Each structure stands twice: as C-alpha cells, then as structure tokens.
Chains A and B, each alone.
Chain A
Amino acid sequence: MIVGLGVGFLAALPRLYRIPVLQSLSKLYASFFRGTPILIQLFLFYYGLPEVLKLQGIDLSRVPVLVFVIATYGLNVGAYISEGIRSAVTSVDRGQIEAAYAVGMNGLQAFRRIVLPQALAIAIPIFANVTIGTLKDTSLAFTLGVMELTSKARSLGLLAQHFMEAYIGLAIIYLMISLLLERAFQFIERRMLRHEQPISSSKQARSFKLWQKRRPAPDASLNKGGQ
C-alpha cells in the first residue's frame, strides 16, 4: 500500500505537469495495471519476470515470493492512486495557485503548501477504496503459495474438515479489518477537511432538527388520538 502511494504519486506528476515522454509512459502504465486482472499480473511478475531477467544474466530465483507479491500489488495500487491524485489535484481551484504565485511563492512552494494538502484531503476516499480493495485482493496471493489469510483458512478447513466454519471465520476477519480501515480513513478525512467542516456540520444539525420536527411528538401517539 505504501509502495503504491509512492508509485502513484510519482506516476501522477508527469501527467499533471505534462512532461512529454513520461506523460505517455505513465498513461500506458495506468492502463496496463487497471486493464488486466491482478491475478495475471501476479503470474506475469512471478513466473515471467525472472525468465526475462535470466536472459540478461540476472538471477532472481533467490528472491522470496513475498517481494514479488508486494511489488505487484504496489504497482497495481499505484495505477489507481495516480488517477486519484491527478483528479484531486485538478480539483483544487486555479485561483489559489495564482494567489500563491502572487504572494511570491515558486511553483514547488505553491504545490507543496497549497495544492497538495487540499488534494490529499480530497483523495482520501479514493485511497480508502483502493486500500480496502487491495486488502481483499491479497487473497489471490495464495495462488503463488504465499500463506496469507485465505490459504491459512483453507488449510485449516482441510485439516479439520470444517470448510464452512473456516470460511465464515475468514469472512469475519476480512470484515473486521475493513471496518477498522474504514473508520481510520473516516477519521483522517475529517481531520484533513476540518477547514470545510463548520458548514457541513451545521447543515447536518439543521436537517436533524427538520427530521425531529417532522416526527410526531412522543405523546401524540396514534392510539391516543383514536380513543
């Protein structure tokens, strides 16, 4: 995930700043990783890459599987995140960047101090989506023989001959982790968007009051009126 964040960030920059060659490379990268199933990417990286590199005389047979898995997921996540960052950065309005220049900042300062903090806050829901999605995708790593949650559950089920129980347990574990992540992201988002909060929270308060008003008062129950 963290690898993905870094890769995604790097891949987003060329397209934001329209750097000629890198821009199309990053486009190609994003469409490849978003357009092919992660399972195939895993196979390609684990089985294909060492073969190709062997021709160059580089031996990867000692590298643990986990490294391949992490690299693949990192690149995969990076593709999604680069798109997220790109859209978030473009959504920060141009006027603030102009204001930053007018104050005397250079491009880097304006990006780091004004654009990035706001873009990250906007992109948090996208990060949350991708993270939770990736968490579940890790279940595919067992095809390469990595002992992760799903394969653990399978072997437990095999051992005890109780597959249903093992898989229900597995589902609950995934759900718990997802819920935890969801909460964490909610917390981060609220913190990072605290400058926009007062308006939304007062709106919420207002609609809550409206909802309260529409509900009949507790003592005005139906049977009372009928008698």
Chain B
Amino acid sequence: MIKLQNITKSFGRLQVLKGIDLVVEKGEVVAILGPSGSGKTTLLRCINYLEKPSDGEITIDDFTVNCKRPSKKDIHTLRGKTAMVFQQYNLFRHKTALENVMEGLVVVQKVEKEEARRRSIELLEKVGLGNKLNAYPSQLSGGQQQRVGIARALALNPEVILFDEPTSALDPELVGEVLAVIRNIAKEGITMIIVTHEMGFAHDVANHVVFMDEGIIVEEGKPNDIFVSPKEERTKQFLKRITPEGVYSI
C-alpha cells in the first residue's frame, strides 16, 4: 500500500503541489489525469524523490519517510521500493537492451550475473524484444526503447512502478505497442501509478482515476465515475476539452 499525506512542493514562490493526500492499494492501477502544469508529473517524481517535496509524508508498505528531513538512507530505501518509466525513456545509451535491464539487478540488488541475465532475458521476451537483446538504444525505435524501459522497471521487482507520460514522446503509430505492454503487466497485479494523456487507455486499464488541477486533487474515483459522471465542474470541462462528445458514454 502507498500512502501520501499532505505532500507539498514549491519551486521558489510557486507552489506546485498544495497538499496531496492519496492512498493506493496493493495491485491497484492508478491513472493521474489533468491539464499540463497541474503538478501531476511533479507528484509522481516526489514519490521516488527525484523531486524533493517541501513537506509531507510518504509511506510505501510500512516504510515511512517524513519529507521535512529525510536521511540519505531513507531516500535510498524509498527508491529501492519504486521503479520509474520515463517520458524520454532515459535508457543508458552506452549499454545494450539486456545490459540496461540487468544494470539495476547487478549493481543495486547484487543479484548474481547469470541469474540477472536469465531474468532480464525473460522480461525482454515478455515485452516482445527477445530478438533485440544486444541492440543499443540508438538502434531501437522509440516504442522499443520504451519497452526496454518498462522491462528495466519490472526487473527491480518494485512495490510500485511509476509511469511518467510513457507514450507522450512517441510517434502515434508506436503508442499502441507500449500501451499493450502496460496493459499486460497491469493484469499481473503489479501496483502502478500512471500519469497519462491517453484517456481511452486510462479508462480501460486503471481501476482508480485521479484528476488533478492546480496542485490539488480535484476528484478521484472509479474510472466510470470520473469519465461518465464527473461531479466537479473542472473535471467536466477538462474531459469535454480533451474528448469528443459521447465517446465515453456507455
């Protein structure tokens, strides 16, 4: 279980997150939606401390970090429980697909090389890249790179995988393959928090949708509640702008 309590974050005088409370149950797939600048990516990055929250408390499992004064060890433990898939893939460019996936296992988790290799190959096959094990990122398409990124996250066997707009940088025809992979792993009961602009995908895959605007959570609930019958005015406006009329009525 993941519990965020009163997370705030300011950049200088600009307050980006104004006290976020969120509970994510084990095995849940959470989609965070919202207009750009609403703080959703910042929130996601706060969870693994790539962004340092100004205040609040993060609990993953039974490990709690007080964001007022976290120790280095706290941050390290927190990062050990999470994994992230980035918008720009951020693969290690001097390493092959296989080495990218193995890196965390070997360096951080100290898994034996042979074992790490075996598990990594398995994962790369799962994301459909069994024939690209020795390719460098520069030899892969965006969609393939992102699938390596997902395999790299899966390899760590984290409590939660954080997806930061995983398809935003992709050509439209490559979005499908990445979403298909995420869909597949969602079925396996891995906890995921996904920041996305793909409304259809969020509707299908997520079982908990969060709508954010201007640094607060405006509304959250089951996908049908949010997409079909949103209560808040701001949610309605956002959905109307982003989706053509009638697409999500059932």
Interface residues of A (CB under 8 A from B): 93, 95-96, 98-106, 109, 113-114, 117-118, 121, 194-196, 198-199
Is A103 a contact of B108 with CB atoms below 8 Å? yes
Chain B: how many interface residues by the 8 Å CB criterion? 28
Is A95 a contact of B86 with CB atoms below 8 Å? yes
Interface residues of B (CB under 8 A from A): 48, 50, 76, 79-80, 82-84, 86, 88, 90-96, 103-104, 107-109, 136-139, 152, 156
Is A103 a contact of B83 with CB atoms below 8 Å? yes
Is A105 a contact of B108 with CB atoms below 8 Å? yes
Is A105 a contact of B107 with CB atoms below 8 Å? yes
B-chain residues with CB within 8 Å of residue A121 when the two chains form the complex: 94
B-chain residues with CB within 8 Å of residue A109 when the two chains form the complex: 107-108
Query: Could you list some 6 contacts between A and B, CB below 8 A?
Result: A102-B50, A102-B86, A103-B152, A104-B156, A109-B108, A199-B139
Q: Out of A95, A104, A117, which one reaches B90, CB within 8 Å?
A: A95
Shortest CB–CB separation between residue A7 and chain B, in angstroms?
25
Name the CB-closest residue of A to B80.
A104
Is B94 a contact of A102 with CB atoms below 8 Å? no
Q: Out of A96, A118, A198, which one reaches B138, CB within 8 Å?
A: A198
Given contacts A113-B103, A114-B92, contact A98 B156 (CB under 8 A): no
Shortest CB–CB separation between residue A188 and chain B, in angstroms?
14
Is A104 a contact of B104 with CB atoms below 8 Å? yes
A-chain residues with CB within 8 Å of residue B84 when the two chains form the complex: 99, 102
B-chain residues with CB within 8 Å of residue A104 when the two chains form the complex: 76, 79-80, 104, 108-109, 156
Is B90 a contact of A96 with CB atoms below 8 Å? yes
Is B104 a contact of A96 with CB atoms below 8 Å? no
Majority secondary structure of chain A interface residues (helix, strand, loop or mixed):
helix
Q: Out of A96, A98, A114, A118, which one reaches B50, CB within 8 Å?
A: A98
Measured in the bound complex, the distance between the Cα atoms of B167 and A222 in whole Å is 56
Is B94 a contact of A95 with CB atoms below 8 Å? no
Measured in the bound complex, the distance between the Cα atoms of B93 and A196 in whole Å is 8
Shortest CB–CB separation between residue A144 and chain B, in angstroms?
43
Is B156 a contact of A95 with CB atoms below 8 Å? no
Shortest CB–CB separation between residue A223 and chain B, in angstroms?
47
**Can you name 18 extra interface pairs (CB under 8 A) apart from A101-B79, A195-B138?**
A95-B86, A96-B91, A96-B92, A98-B90, A99-B86, A99-B90, A101-B50, A102-B48, A103-B79, A104-B104, A104-B109, A105-B107, A105-B108, A114-B92, A114-B94, A195-B136, A195-B137, A198-B138
Is B90 a contact of A118 with CB atoms below 8 Å? no
Shortest CB–CB separation between residue B125 and chain A, in angstroms?
21
Is B104 a contact of A103 with CB atoms below 8 Å? yes
Name the CB-closest residue of B to A94.
B90
Shortest CB–CB separation between residue B144 and chain A, in angstroms?
14
Closest 5 CB pairs of A and B: A103-B104, A95-B90, A99-B90, A104-B108, A195-B136
Measured in the bound complex, the distance between the Cα atoms of B138 and A101 in whole Å is 22
Most buried by A among B84, B92, B137: B92
Shortest CB–CB separation between residue A166 and chain B, in angstroms?
47
B-chain residues with CB within 8 Å of residue A113 when the two chains form the complex: 103, 107
B-chain residues with CB within 8 Å of residue A100 when the two chains form the complex: 92
Is B92 a contact of A102 with CB atoms below 8 Å? no
Shortest CB–CB separation between residue A62 and chain B, in angstroms?
47
A-chain residues with CB within 8 Å of residue B79 when the two chains form the complex: 101-104
Shortest CB–CB separation between residue A142 and chain B, in angstroms?
43
A-chain residues with CB within 8 Å of residue B88 when the two chains form the complex: 95
Given contacts A95-B88, A102-B48, contact A195 B94 (CB under 8 A): yes
Q: Out of B48, B50, B94, B108, which one reaches A117, CB within 8 Å?
A: B94
Given contacts A95-B90, A113-B103, A195-B94, contact A102 B82 (CB under 8 A): yes
Is B103 a contact of A103 with CB atoms below 8 Å? yes
Is B91 a contact of A99 with CB atoms below 8 Å? yes
Most buried by A among B80, B83, B91, B139: B139
Is A196 a contact of B138 with CB atoms below 8 Å? yes
Given contacts A103-B108, A199-B139, contact A96 B93 (CB under 8 A): yes
Shortest CB–CB separation between residue B114 and chain A, in angstroms?
19
Q: Out of A101, A103, A198, A199, which one reaches B156, CB within 8 Å?
A: A103
